[in-house]
Structure 1
Amino acid sequence: MTGDGTRAVRAGLPEAARNEPTMPGPVFAAHFHLPGEVAGPYTYGRDGNPTWSGLESALSELEAPGEEAGTLLFASGMAAISAVLFSQSRSGDTVVLPSDGYQVLPLVREQLTAYGVTVRTAPTGEDAQLDALDGARLLWIESPSNPGLDVCDIRRLVAAAHERGALVGVDNTLSTPLGQRPLDLGADFSVASDTKALTGHGDVLLGHVTTRDPALLEGVRRWRKIIGAIPGPMETWLAHRSLATLPLRLDRQNANALALAEALRARPEVSGLRYPGLPEDPAHKLATAQMLRYGTVLGFTLPSREHAERFLARARLVEDATSFGGVRSTAERRRRWGGDAVAEGFVRFSAGAEDTEDLVADVLRALDESEG
């Protein structure tokens, strides 16, 4: 079996054909020639597109190397998350969500509840969701959690959920398939917002769902057809093109994240530093056992809202933006959105692909200049 780098460069591309492009361009089509009976893979633009097929095949190869799996693309990460949660639950079912997950999950909880689904929540850390599994139809895991960066034992939770007859979906956005493979850890669904590290340039909204179970895939496909949350061909093509550099980007960004975490732990104004790659981090041992890379995101708290805002204003190589995983470093005072249980001075920082020395120096200078 080839390595991740080779796979990322080649995945989802057609066989070489004389005088044809090595990577076909995006196909823009609302409909396709369809004489006679309905047949073939492409009939209408909401159901399928050759450009989607290429990236879906590529992502399947990365999510489940050497094994059969199916992937479906969506217009955003939330479209992909919603597709699993709403296609797999019915009125009377119980769904278990993380209480410390992505800030849109409370809205999802409200909607599930409105549809007659019972929703239980528990934190990611210390595998607390185990206590909420009895009678559940679906367990939703976010590991590492966003923005707290707690990690749970995915294998343990999956085994417990399956023992009780529950399906398991894992939000793998922070890791990508090159940082963690939920399907290899037993999960039924691996889901991600590809807006983040997988595409890596801050210019595409996209999401995907991968599963090894054809019946589960069809349920998600039906939901996509009903809702119509489909990706555009240009966004899909850009994502596929970007996939080739994913291992290179992640290597640099992970190295930068670790270097920043090591530098920040010596700063007296920094508290609550979290990065799974630090040996002293509470999640380090478990992350090392189940992750392939520790990720590009770290979190830390400055003494006040004003201190954090001064730091962000003075950092020259860091964009004050809400996304993460891109080649340009981003950071934000996360509490400004109001949805996360974090301190006013909490900063979620996403390491980019800048030269390590330059990025660390810029962050330390900004910290020096932000002291009140």
Structure 2
Amino acid sequence: MDGQYGDSTRSVTASATLGIAGAPVSTPPVPASAYHLSADESAPQDVYGRSSNPTWRHLESALATLEGATAALSFSSGMAAITSVLRVLATPGKRLVVPADGYYQVRAYALESLVPQGVEVVTASASEMCDAAEHADVVLAETPVNPTLDVVDLHRLALTCRSRGATLVVDNTTPTPFGQQPLSLGADLVVASATKALAGHGDVLAGYAAGCHADLMAAVERERLLSGAILGPFEAWLVLRSLGSAGLRFERQCHNALAVAVMLRAHPAVRSVRYPGLPEDPSHEVASRQMRRFGGLVSIELADAAAVHDLASRSALLVAATSFGGIHSSVDRRARWGDPVSDGFARLSLGIEDTDDLVADIDHALQRASR
């Protein structure tokens, strides 16, 4: 029956506690660094806060369920999850492909930390990713790409990696497990920042890796233990608490994103709009095959940097912020962070405000900014 549930039901059931009489309905955090040890040293037990925590386990079980994985591991941030996975997979002498147009800190880590260790790093755009995978040992793909929202054909990429014997890791931050299931499309591992839409309230940093290969997950867990890139129990509880409403929030965010994208594509102040849910978007055909929902991000190009700042200052609802996926709608001029985009390129993250209010507010702010 679980496979037939909708997103909100999946969110609630994944984050809920078992129906044990006398147990709290909502799981409380367990802020422990040390535990009482059993005399039976062979028995599974919590022993130290860097190696295990009951709140982690509940969160990781929920994340695995949502991603369609057999296991998940929580981390202190999305980058902590990605770098831990890359340290396991991208060993000296191997060729690693990373997005040329995705999250810029992933490229920076690969080039600054892995290349000096003897890893060959190749950067490839979304359109180049499948070809680049033909000569790779490890491929890290991000789709839809942040911030341009180009889409990688995951089925084709997975087939290419499989024929090569390469390991495919997919960053699922932008679409979330409610919008896309990379493991079902052939990925070996999913990584993501739970800071964004899953936590959704702008008050916690968290990341995770999820997969179905026991040996690979065990190696990543060992790396987490040794590197100490753990999620604090209170932070784990914040994410777990938020998961119950994540499906509902994401549904509204996707609805708002489509409505705003439709308005923006005809606005005279907007030079271009990217949203995979628009029928005319270059990525729509591929996105329609592999995504259940098209996400809460819309990318636009305005005249220049000043136009983006004017939009932020004249809007009553858009918050100028660099993260995304929260309950508040936000705008971020991406060139300021070094992304290879124009000065007037902006990423909009649509929140859960009423749709008509958002559309009217952004339209009005753009009209004022273009005068």
**TM-score relative to the length of structure 1:** 0.96
Change (3 A) 1:135 1:347: closer
Q: Which has the larger displacement, 69-78 or 239-248?
A: 239-248
* Mapping of residues 1-372 of structure 1, within 5 Å: 1-2=1-2, 3=5, 4-36=7-39, 37=41, 39-64=43-68, 69-110=70-111, 111-125=113-127, 128-337=128-337, 339-372=338-371
Q: CA RMSD in A?
A: 1.2
Deviation for aligned residue 1:46 = 0.4
**2:29 aligned partner, one-letter code:** P
User: Contact between 2:61 and 2:71, CA under 8 Å: does it hold in 1?
Assistant: yes
User: Contact between 2:37 and 2:45, CA under 8 Å: does it hold in 1?
Assistant: no
User: Contact between 1:261 and 1:298, CA under 8 Å: does it hold in 2?
Assistant: yes
Q: Deviations over 1:96-150 (max 9, x none)?
A: 111101010221122110111001111113xx12222244221111000010100
Q: Which has the larger displacement, 186-195 or 103-112?
A: 103-112
User: Contact between 1:88 and 1:219, CA under 8 Å: does it hold in 2?
Assistant: no
Q: Which has the larger displacement, 144-153 or 13-22?
A: 13-22
**1:195 aligned partner, one-letter code:** T
Deviation for aligned residue 1:41 = 3.5
Using the alignment, how far apart are the partners of 1:176 and 1:134 within structure 2?
Answer: 27
Change (3 A) 1:57 1:207: same
Using the alignment, how far apart are the partners of 1:72 and 1:161 within structure 2?
Answer: 24
Q: Structure 1: any 5+ residue segments left out of the alignment? A: none
**1:220 aligned partner, one-letter code:** V
**1:331 aligned partner, one-letter code:** V
Count of residue correspondences: 366
Using the alignment, how far apart are the partners of 1:13 and 1:30 within structure 2?
Answer: 24
SS of residue paired to 1:82: helix
Q: Which has the larger displacement, 280-289 or 2-11?
A: 2-11
Change (3 A) 1:46 1:302: same
Q: Deviations over 1:31-66 (max 9, x none)?
A: 1111432642411100110000001001111111xx
User: Contact between 2:15 and 2:241, CA under 8 Å: does it hold in 1?
Assistant: no
User: Contact between 1:12 and 1:56, CA under 8 Å: does it hold in 2?
Assistant: no
Using the alignment, how far apart are the partners of 1:217 and 1:88 within structure 2?
Answer: 11
Deviation for aligned residue 1:224 = 0.3
Using the alignment, how far apart are the partners of 1:106 and 1:286 within structure 2?
Answer: 25
Using the alignment, how far apart are the partners of 1:312 and 1:50 within structure 2?
Answer: 42
Using the alignment, how far apart are the partners of 1:88 and 1:334 within structure 2?
Answer: 30
User: Contact between 1:318 and 1:331, CA under 8 Å: does it hold in 2?
Assistant: yes
Q: Deviations over 1:240-291 (max 9, x none)?
A: 1111111111111111000000000111221121000100000111111100
SS of residue paired to 1:360: helix
Deviation for aligned residue 1:176 = 0.7
SS of residue paired to 2:98: strand
Identity %: 46
Deviation for aligned residue 1:307 = 1.3
Q: Deviations over 1:209-256 (max 9, x none)?
A: 000000000110011011101111111111111111111111111110
Using the alignment, how far apart are the partners of 2:95 and 2:43 within structure 1?
Answer: 38
**2:300 aligned partner, one-letter code:** F
Using the alignment, how far apart are the partners of 1:326 and 1:366 within structure 2?
Answer: 21
- TM superposition outliers: structure 1 runs of 4+ over 4 Å: none
Return the structure number with greater helix share. 2
User: Contact between 1:277 and 1:294, CA under 8 Å: does it hold in 2?
Assistant: yes
**1:348 aligned partner, one-letter code:** R
User: Contact between 2:98 and 2:107, CA under 8 Å: does it hold in 1?
Assistant: no
Using the alignment, how far apart are the partners of 2:325 and 2:45 within structure 1?
Answer: 33
User: Contact between 1:258 and 1:277, CA under 8 Å: does it hold in 2?
Assistant: yes
Using the alignment, how far apart are the partners of 1:221 and 1:17 within structure 2?
Answer: 29
**1:362 aligned partner, one-letter code:** D
**2:122 aligned partner, one-letter code:** R
User: Contact between 2:276 and 2:287, CA under 8 Å: does it hold in 1?
Assistant: yes
Deviation for aligned residue 1:370 = 0.9
Q: Structure 2: any 5+ residue segments left out of the alignment? A: none
Deviation for aligned residue 1:10 = 1.3
SS of residue paired to 1:349: strand
Using the alignment, how far apart are the partners of 2:141 and 2:43 within structure 1?
Answer: 38
Q: Which has the larger displacement, 96-105 or 34-43?
A: 34-43
